[in-house]
Amino acid sequence: MARQGLSRALVTASWLAEAVRAGRVGAGLRVLDASWYPPKERNARQEFKERHIPGASFFDIEECRDKSSPYDFMLPSESQFADYVGGLGVSNDTHVVVYDGDQVGTFYAPRAWWMFRAFGHKEVSVLNGGFKNWLKEGHPVTAEVTQPTPAVFKARLNRALVKTFDEMVQNVSSLKFQVVDSRPEGRFRGTELDQGLESGHIPGAVNIPFNSFLSETGHEKSIEEIQEIFRAKKVDLSKPLTATCRKGVTACQIALAAFLCGKRDVAVYDGSWSEWFHRAPPHYKVSEAKRGKA
């Protein structure tokens, strides 16, 4: 079987199903369910216990984060990440495949993919189409929760893949890098609330809603289609690029889409709008709603 996942950001359900059938999910290949949902809507951990890809472990994004931060899902420290994924049986030599069960196809999995890359792990892939299409294609599921053998993972944060608040503020005037915001258009423009927050965007940012890169079936669009989406928004993939969103999750879809086009250095503003809203000066929060009131 071709070692597709070791060199690609995406693996197909059929490729992973063959790996499951061949008994390859173990020390060399770890599958992680990175699902997360609003608590009132769905319970990701409970759904994992009820059915998941055989051999998979649950990657709890609520646990693998900086719990001291007032902002959602901020990156943990190197040691925290290393201890957490090591407990899931992931070493520096492990090929990791991440997926989630969101109905759009892929939602939180790219965040886990980016986290691994940010901490120096290159052999990580997203299951194209997610659990939704795994089920649709009739691949096996199980309720059996396996206990992986703990492994040693050494993490080293690649600072080039992470932007801080201060760097984002400086960029408003310096324009050293392009900024793409992956939230829905209404939240970007400031015409609808962003999960309880007043919405708007960082000056100079371009809006490409993350689901623009997904097909109707929930798979990633072709490289040619993705390139055209960036071109239509005048985003130059040959130049520095940073992605942002509400809390650093769907921004990772921008990083993944660009990665598929050969651009592997897209940074993510980890704090995203949740931090920007609380820390940026008023004139650095662009909102059509506020302009309309004025």
**Residues carrying an active site annotation:** 245
Q: With CA atoms as reference, report the closest residue to 199 among 268, 273, 124.
A: 273
Convert 50-98 into a string of H (helix), E (strand) and C (coil).
HCECCCCEECCCCCCCCCCCCCCCCCCCHHHHHHHHHHCCCCCCCEEEE
- In our burial notation (b when 16+ CB lie closer than 10 A, e otherwise), range 111-150 reads bbbbbbbbbbbebbbbbbbbbbbbeeeebeeeeeeeebee
Contact between 275 and 71 under an 8 Å Cβ cutoff? The reply is yes
Phi-psi region of 244 (alpha: psi -120 to 50; beta: other; left: phi over 0): beta
92: which 2 tokens? 């520096």
